Structure 1
Amino acid sequence: MMLIELTGITKRFKNGMEYKNILENLNLQIHQGDSIAIKGKSGCGKSTLLNIIGGLLPFDEGAMFFNGIDVSKLTESQRAEYRKDNIGFVTQNFHLLDDRNVYENIALPLQYLGMSKHQIKDRVEEILHDLDIEHTTKRTISTLSGGERQRVAIGRAIIKKPLLLLADEPTGSLDEETEESILEIFSSLHQQGMTLIIVTHDDTVSKNCQHIYKLQHKELHSVY
């Protein structure tokens, strides 16, 4: 089933007195359950594309459909609902809340959804077990290693069981051994049916995906 379809996407930013296209007439189709890697040079627009797909950034031309819904026609509040209901985000810098412990960070999306404390507790404990970070439950973020922080970030991103997980250089700040463990988590999520889009410069990461695209000259080109 088609999950995402981008047609003729163009995104421009103001550069001094002029506007510069960073994405131009870009097309992409993603089916439910796909795992996609997007590669390209720094500054080529990879993160911009990810933010467009995630509903964080509007585009200037073209159309984007998610499960048949035209995202460009949604209001700002409807786009917020789109993100809340369908999208999980993982970033290189984790973006965890330092004033909350591991449990509270992971539980946050379910609190926004208005779930009961009992439901939240059951789901958080399940995630902690699946990601092998049960020992960190009450620890503050500042006491965690890089790998533990990324596991917490992944836990927070997947706890609401999103249809789509977006990851922006998720292993960029991790050592090789920790990267391998994080890639095993992504592979497991994909095997469970989650759709993944990963922006990366790392061949090790991209080779774990079904399909690889290269963003070059403002357009996407399939590598395989």
Structure 2
Amino acid sequence: MLLELSGIKKSFKNGSRYESILENLDFKVFKGDSIAIKGKSGCGKSTLLNILGGLIFFEEGEMLFNGTNISKLTSNEWAEYRKKNISFVTQNFNLLDDRNVFDNIALPLQYIRMPKKEIKSRVEKVLHDLEIQHAMKRNISTLSGGERQRVAIARAIVKEPSILLADEPTGSLDEETEKSILRIFDELHHKGMTLIIVTHDDSVSSHCQHIYELYHKKLNYVNS
């Protein structure tokens, strides 16, 4: 078991009172899983993804990573968990416009203070794997939407995370570009990477090994 959530409750303040968005939620992720999480807008999909990524905390329940209860980590320990184990891909890419493609991808490796020689080697490899080596020195502003998403994926996987979390990763792409991005996710899964993808798109979820729906504040298993 790579990741296990049990009895998770998460609430947000709405005016003078708190409203729960997740209640008594259970979820298990095994190493190498490819999982889609579906659900209506506002049902808590992104909230759940941010909990898995250690970006927001929950009021009740436990979260285990590799069998260790990480629910009570300090803020610094959560930051270390994210840095070592988690990468995100989002619909809006979240790239740095003041840096070129190489520097955007290298950023996570710089955070963990990897030697420059190894950074260069890793970045060049992932550029080649995702077929964007031609864009290595280009400014982000000159890239197409599909190229930007490839750069975002490259940045996410270059540190070889335990889990790749993707929030509507093809939501802003045209149909042909979406297909090329989904082929990349298929290849990552076949190489053994653990993927959790939030999506409303059946064409995206159909590429995943397991499909869940977030409904009435809980995850329901739909298909495998």
Could you state the TM-score of these two structures normalised by the residue count of structure 1?
Answer: 0.99
Residue number in structure 2 paired with 1:50: 49
**Matched residue type, 2:19:** K
CA distance in 2, matches of 1:204, 1:223: 15
Shift of 1:115: 1.1
Tell me the alpha carbon deviations over residues 18-59 of structure 1, each in whole angstroms, 9 at most, x when there is no partner.
100000100011110000000000100000000000000000
Residue number in structure 2 paired with 1:178: 177
**2:204 aligned with 1:201:** no
Shift of 1:163: 0.8
Residue number in structure 2 paired with 1:188: 187
**2:117 aligned with 1:118:** yes
Shift of 1:106: 0.1
CA distance in 2, matches of 1:114, 1:14: 38
- Equivalenced residues, count: 223
Tell me the alpha carbon deviations over residues 95-147 of structure 1, each in whole angstroms, 9 at most, x when there is no partner.
00000000000000111111111111110000000000011101111110000
Shift of 1:68: 1.3
**Matched residue type, 1:105:** N
Matching of residues 143-154 of structure 1 within 5 Å: 143-154=142-153
**Matched residue type, 2:154:** G
SS in structure 2 opposite 1:111? helix
Residue number in structure 2 paired with 1:167: 166
Residue number in structure 2 paired with 1:93: 92
CA distance in 2, matches of 1:146, 1:184: 16
- Kindly, what percent of the aligned residue pairs are identical? 71
Residue number in structure 1 paired with 2:83: 84
CA distance in 2, matches of 1:98, 1:86: 25
**Matched residue type, 2:90:** T
CA distance in 1, matches of 2:50, 2:105: 22
SS in structure 2 opposite 1:9? strand
CA distance in 1, matches of 2:68, 2:155: 26
**2:134 aligned with 1:131:** no
- The runs of at least 4 consecutive aligned structure 1 residues that moved more than 4 Å come to none
Residue number in structure 2 paired with 1:75: 74
Structure 1: gaps of 5 or more residues:
none
What do you get for the CA RMSD once the two structures are aligned? Answer: 0.5
CA distance in 2, matches of 1:192, 1:75: 33
Shift of 1:211: 0.4
CA distance in 1, matches of 2:3, 2:122: 27
Residue number in structure 2 paired with 1:215: 214
SS in structure 2 opposite 1:189? helix
**Matched residue type, 1:174:** L
CA distance in 1, matches of 2:70, 2:90: 23
CA distance in 1, matches of 2:48, 2:130: 28
Residue number in structure 2 paired with 1:6: 5
Structure 2: gaps of 5 or more residues:
none
